[in-house]
Amino acid sequence: QVQLTESGGGSVQAGESLRLSCRVSGYIRMSYCMGWFRQTPGNQREAVATTYGGGDSTWYADSVKGRFTIVQDRAENTAYLQMDTLKPEDTAMYYCAAVAVPFTTSPPPGLCVSSDSAYNDWGQGTQVTVSS
């Protein structure tokens, strides 16, 4: 059974940093894309970053480029979202998600899509609040 468990959310001031973690279980020895998404009340869930182990496969939303970094540590079965220079508009519930994909040693751009409907497994969410 696949399980994703997030941690690391909290309340910070604008300009500060947070690191979210997502521990993945059940995908052992499988190949998968990881994604981080966020949602605010009354709005659709939006993709923040996706990756298949880094490199060309990594994608960021324009709103977080240069400030957020997604890392997938396969050895630890954990994905991270390092969030720097946080802004009040980053306030949201953050979710990690995973979907199995065919194994590749050369993940191309676009391998890990940004559409939330493509992801099968989701964490419970962790709240991030940024005050000005």
DSSP letter string, 6-74: EE--EEEETT--EEEEEEEES-TT--EEEEEEEE-TTS--EEEEEESSSGGG-EE-TTTTTTEEEEEET
User: Using 50, 70 and 90 to split pLDDT, how confident is the model at 78?
Assistant: very high
- Residue 28 predicted with pLDDT over 80: no
In this predicted structure, what is the pLDDT of residue 56? 85
Render pLDDT for 55-72 as a digit per residue (tens, 0 to 9): 888 999 999 999 999 999
What number of other Cβ atoms are within 10 A of residue 1's Cβ? 5
Q: Indicate the range of 16-20, 46-50, 107-111 predicted with least confidence.
A: 107-111
In this predicted structure, what is the pLDDT of residue 29? 64
In this predicted structure, what is the pLDDT of residue 30? 77
Q: Mean pLDDT over residues 40-46, rounded? A: 96
How large a percentage of the chain has pLDDT more than 70?
98
